[in-house]
Amino acid sequence: MKKQRGMALLMVLLMMSLMAIVAVNINDHWQRSLARTQSQQDRLRAKWLLLGGEIYAQQRWRQAGEQRKAWGASGAAFSMRTEEGEVAIRLRRVDACFNVNALIRAAGPTEVGDSEGAPPNKERRIFMLLLNNLGIADAQAGAIADAIVARAYGEGYLMGDISELRELAGIDRELYLRLAPQLCAVPDAELQVNPDAVDEARLPLLRAMLMNALGGERLRTLLAARPPQGWQTLTFLSQEKALQTLDDDALDERLKFDDSRWIAQLQLTLNDGRYRLVSAWQPGQSGITVSGRQFDRGEG
């Protein structure tokens, strides 16, 4: 009898243990589902808030009018307050920088980790020349280009901000500070530079866009003679024999006398982290056209 009572008690304890395990698992599953639902709601809410911030930024851009010229290369920073939080906004021109997303798009996933063999595409050649002009050797320049492309295709999205270069192996603070003024990350992944927006500090970029056909001293001479209203066309290069022998049909596609390339960088912090939207703009007479957007979630 005592043995039977012992077995019954053991069975009861066993059933209670199983019920406790099931209850814990159900509670854990419920908690995970709740967190996942909350995260999805936060992501959707953040996206709409950032898109609202984009509209607000466009209004501020239009209201600024001629004052935009005083913003300079660093652009303008302001914020939009909402009940959900504050959207930090930064606007700046991107017509005098190398768009690293053009390097990524031109490479394609087939070239990740396999930069040897086939001749490099033009975007990579220009990027390499730019880094050479900044005093960076071919081997290191190639490693940086490979790292940028590999990171993008490894994580599945284009670069949202040039500050992400600091996460790459081999780029220390000194090298980053040397590269950053020449580079940008624009979602439309186009490689275009406005020669009239280039200053002396960005001559290495203009020289690379010309495939290093002209020397640095020659470009300084041309820059010093640039009219106050700008060159406005490529005729200032028409007498350069080195460019005539270059036979580059895509030169007029890369060098555009157009100051209508801007990016808006918007950031918002919600319960589960920080969200960011990078929006590429092309303002025109009919309004602002958004040519590309990059939405992602960062760390909290």
Ordered mean pLDDT values, 10 residues apiece, the chain (300 residues): 65 74 69 64 86 93 82 82 89 89 81 59 94 95 93 81 87 92 88 89 94 92 90 87 75 81 88 84 84 73
* Residue 46: Cβ-neighbour burial (10 angstroms; 0-12, 13-18, 19+): buried
C-beta of residue 120 within 8 angstroms of C-beta of residue 293:
no
C-beta of residue 112 within 8 angstroms of C-beta of residue 78:
no
Tell me, what's the pLDDT at 280?
85
Residues in the chain: 300
Tell me, what's the pLDDT at 245?
75
Tell me, what's the pLDDT at 177?
93
State the greatest distance between any 2 C-alpha atoms of the chain, in Å, as a whole number. Answer: 112
The per-type count for the chain, helices as H runs and strands as E runs, is: 9, 7
Tell me, what's the pLDDT at 256?
86
pLDDT digits (tens, 9 = 90+) for 6-24: 667 677 777 777 777 777 7
* Residue 154: Cβ-neighbour burial (10 angstroms; 0-12, 13-18, 19+): exposed
Q: Which residues contact 143 (CB under 8 A, 6 or more apart)?
A: 170
Q: What does the angle CA 178 – CA 183 – CA 188 come to, to the nearest 5 degrees? A: 170
Q: Which helix (H) or strand (E) holds 54?
A: helix 2-64
Task: Determine how β-strand 183-184 pairs with β-strand 98-99.
Answer: parallel
Tell me, what's the pLDDT at 270?
83
Total-model pTM: 0.71
Rounded distance between C-alpha atoms, residue 250 and residue 121, angstroms: 13
Rounded distance between C-alpha atoms, residue 179 and residue 173, angstroms: 10
Tell me the domains of the chain and their CATH numbers: 10-94+261-297 (3.30.1300), 98-110+119-254 (1.10.40.60)
